[in-house]
Structure 1
Amino acid sequence: MRFTADLHIHSRFSRATSRDLDLPQLWRWAQLKGIRVVGTGDCTHPGWLEELEQELVPAEAGLWRLRREPLPDQVPQSCRAPVSFLISGEISCIYRKGGRTRKVHCLVLLPDFAAAHRLNLQLSRIGTLASDGRPILKLDAKDLLAMVLAASPRALLIPAHAWTPHFSIFGACSGFESLQECFDELAPEVHAIETGLSSDPAMNWRLSVLDGITLVSNSDAHSASKLGREATVFDTDLSYDGIFQAVATGKGVAGTIEFFPEQGKYHADGHRCCGVRLSPEQTIAHDYRCPACGGKLTVGVLHRVELLADRAAGVKPAQAPPFWSVIPLIDLIGGALRVGCASKKAEALYFQLLGGLGNEFHILLEAPLNEIAARSTATLAAGIGRMRAGEVEIEAGYDGRFGTVSVSAPGEDAT
């Protein structure tokens, strides 16, 4: 069965997240986006885990559904579809290894609530779990992996947003140069990495050491409407074991839905305080110092990939699945209407399109352009067509600032 999943999200119990991150809103937005399986996020938080156990009941094997689904009028008829949940969470490991402080975020997928309780019992001996849905623990990522496997041999640990500078396995500020350097003899138990918003599969294909490692994408959503800004497309059994086998072997991952990586907020090098964005070559020429103030530059994902790559850009390993780069529909609508993407006018057209054509992924990737034009504007339809063709112009993001993307033709306003 072919379906789309977003397995790395957060709940309202995580810091810097929206209060709307509850199960009914995740259920609603999964349908609006076109997502069949959603991670619960934050399964280490005792309050959220209790809520999950109260509100979810078994669905497909190892997956869960809402005990009481909201009224169907919450979702346009054209978008209505079943939604299942998979138990997941993110853990921030901060520790010393190899003479350096390491900060590695890890996504954990679990087959049942019993495994979640076993893992949480071990983690509670390391630090406090109730203060943040994404707990910050003084814990070696290798030791976390051992705990995850002890909780269940069917559990998965996936290094999250693997290239971002500050909190990732390969990040420039505190990361490693290989999975083996991080996980030692347990490295073979790491079957996948999450590409993150600032990289895409093509960038990861440049490292031969990642051949055989499954590339997955997820939103890391901090509000319900951000669900699905990245996602993974599976073609496997709709079950926990189906997803487990697909991630562990790569067979059954049909592709990923991606940000244009330049739009990610850590793609290029730079110094946000000074408004300075640099290429890797410029950063090296300035000795990794901001040319405006002399402060230390944040080395972005592109630069880090260049340092570790052993292949030229454009090489695609055999059997690597495809990926599709998209811009969120609400952003495209805002640009076409020349309004902010949070405006009531943009929101009204967004739901009008979903009501007439179907979920967001269908509109972005499959809906005929003439039908999009008939239900919105020719400018929006043309912009979606250029996005599908990769005809975009982007001022790359850097040092925590998202990039700006344009799909405008000459004479049109940028999106």
Structure 2
Amino acid sequence: MSSTYFTDLHIHVGSDWYGNPVKITGSKALTLTKILEEASRRKGLNIIGVIDAHAPAVQEELMDLIRKGNAYELSEGGIQFEDTVLLLGSEIEIYDSSCSGPIHVLCYLPTLQKMKDFSKWLSLKMTNINLSSQRFYGTGRELQSYVKDQGGLFIPAHVFTPFKSLYGKGVKRSLREVFNPENIDAIELGLSSDTSMADQIKELHQYPFVTNSDAHSASKLAREYQQVSLEAATFEEFAKALKGLNGRKILRNFGMNPKLGKYHQTVCSKCFTPASKSQYSCNECGSHKIIKGVSDRISELGEDSTPPERPEYIYQVPLDYLPGLGKKTYEKLIEAFQTEMNIIHHTPYEELSSSISKPVAKAILAMRSGELSIKSGGGGVYGRIDRNLS
């Protein structure tokens, strides 16, 4: 019998259990154990993907959790920890002779042993296996072939961001310039785009879209995620959902309005004044550093075509984005309703307003329905929610 599960497949480890950095820009407090505890106990995520699982010290921490009986491997792939299943992933940077610029991709393996083998293979093609998002000295197709031969999943990451992404920097027009299209399992949209934007690109019509947080700190887990229908929370079941097999499928994508993404619009990188994609200098400060936004890049690549039927894309924001919802209010909500997924999806207004102020309770409902007023982001600065809530 199928059930529904909330999944976020792009979460970074900030530090290993020795205190050494894994994701340099990640929170030092964000260890593998902290991620698992946050996902299970506060976020209410059923499946998560940690994409620094190739790091040997991260694997050591996971093996310690298994030895102590706090986690165990599933026969169909994945690691069970309390109410959350961990999928083992790795974010890798490709920049071979076929690329116009660096491209980040997500690779997931079904078992811990296969991830260990992947790490050994990567260590021959990577300068520092202990860090996240490192350069792979090989071709994109070579990496794809290895992952697929091991029964893994291959997903280009945040494909439109101006830096280190498939369309933002990596290719001139088509993913075929770098990848074998048959060995791509899904496309990760990133924070500055949504389904309707991505479907302007015809070659993406054949792939499912995933929406993930790209979290560098605990609070950012589940800022984007999807709800899927599976028979169980396992690697194999999720792989079937990406293919839409036998009722397994992505039901809904939950993501921030693209205007909240920090690369949505074209802006001057010095003063953040909005600009057009054809500008060579800023009209406000004269700087020549214009960062092309995701919306303009997609308009360059788009073509007239009929998009496929897709799961509904629902605009949401994390709770801590809402004006008036500070740390004390957040903790009060968690104490009353256990997890963010319960608060966002299931708790009625009457119960919310009995625990917190009515304006903040109304803001949560407005967030659910996509009615919050938003100021667009760009040039590396996130958009923001209008603070004028009544």
User: What's the TM-score, normalizing by structure 1?
Assistant: 0.84
What is the 5 A alignment of 1:90-105? 90-97=91-98, 101-105=100-104
Q: 2: distance between equivalents of 1:121 and 1:290?
A: 47
Q: Is 1:324 the counterpart of 2:339 in the alignment? A: no
What is the 5 A alignment of 1:103-114? 103-114=102-113
Q: Secondary structure at the match of 1:274?
A: coil
Q: 2: distance between equivalents of 1:365 and 1:46?
A: 37
Q: CA RMSD in A?
A: 2.1
Aligned to 1:84: 85
Aligned to 1:77: none
1:44 touches 1:135 (CA, 8 Å); kept in 2? Answer: no
Percent of residue pairs bearing the same amino acid type: 27
2:186 touches 2:208 (CA, 8 Å); kept in 1? Answer: yes
Unpaired runs of 5+ in structure 1? Answer: 67-80, 338-345
**What is the one-letter code of the residue matched to 1:331?**
Y
Q: 1: distance between equivalents of 2:374 and 2:307?
A: 23
Aligned to 1:307: 300
* Compared CA separation, residues 393 and 303, structure 1 to 2 (3 A): same
Deviation at 1:294, TM superposition (A): 4.2
Aligned to 1:26: 35
Q: 2: distance between equivalents of 1:393 and 1:89?
A: 36
1:169 touches 1:176 (CA, 8 Å); kept in 2? Answer: no
Q: Is 1:296 the counterpart of 2:289 in the alignment? A: yes
2:265 touches 2:274 (CA, 8 Å); kept in 1? Answer: yes
Tell which deviates more after alignment, 29-38 or 117-126.
117-126
Unpaired runs of 5+ in structure 2? Answer: 16-21, 67-71
2:266 touches 2:290 (CA, 8 Å); kept in 1? Answer: yes
Q: 1: distance between equivalents of 2:158 and 2:58?
A: 23
Q: 2: distance between equivalents of 1:397 and 1:178?
A: 26
Q: 2: distance between equivalents of 1:240 and 1:308?
A: 33
**The one of 49, 52, 57 aligned to 1:39:** 49
1:268 touches 1:396 (CA, 8 Å); kept in 2? Answer: yes
Aligned to 1:180: 176
Q: 2: distance between equivalents of 1:361 and 1:175?
A: 37
Deviation at 1:121, TM superposition (A): 2.3
Q: Is 1:255 the counterpart of 2:248 in the alignment? A: no
Superposed CA deviations along residues 310-335 of structure 1, whole A, max 9, x for unmatched, are 248xx7632x1112211111221xx1
Deviation at 1:193, TM superposition (A): 0.6
Superposed CA deviations along residues 43-78 of structure 1, whole A, max 9, x for unmatched, are 221221222233232146312134xxxxxxxxxxxx
Q: Is 1:64 the counterpart of 2:79 in the alignment? A: yes
Q: 1: distance between equivalents of 2:281 and 2:146?
A: 40
2:262 touches 2:381 (CA, 8 Å); kept in 1? Answer: yes
Q: 1: distance between equivalents of 2:366 and 2:50?
A: 34
* Compared CA separation, residues 127 and 63, structure 1 to 2 (3 A): closer
Q: 1: distance between equivalents of 2:133 and 2:170?
A: 19
Q: Secondary structure at the match of 1:273?
A: coil
* Compared CA separation, residues 200 and 60, structure 1 to 2 (3 A): farther
What is the 5 A alignment of 1:1-400? 1-11=3-13, 12=15, 13-31=22-40, 32-56=42-66, 57-59=72-74, 61-66=76-81, 82-97=83-98, 101-150=100-149, 152=150, 154-171=151-168, 173-183=169-179, 186-237=180-231, 238-249=233-244, 251-278=248-275, 282-284=276-278, 286=279, 288-291=280-283, 292-311=285-304, 317-318=308-309, 320-332=310-322, 335-336=323-324, 346-400=326-380
2:262 touches 2:383 (CA, 8 Å); kept in 1? Answer: yes
- Which ranges of 4 or more aligned residues in structure 1 deviate by more than 6 Å? none
Q: Secondary structure at the match of 1:276?
A: coil
Q: 2: distance between equivalents of 1:59 and 1:83?
A: 12
Instruction: Count how many residue pairs are aligned between Structure 1 and Structure 2.
Output: 371
**What is the one-letter code of the residue matched to 1:257?**
F
2:76 touches 2:235 (CA, 8 Å); kept in 1? Answer: yes
1:8 touches 1:89 (CA, 8 Å); kept in 2? Answer: no
Deviation at 1:239, TM superposition (A): 1.5
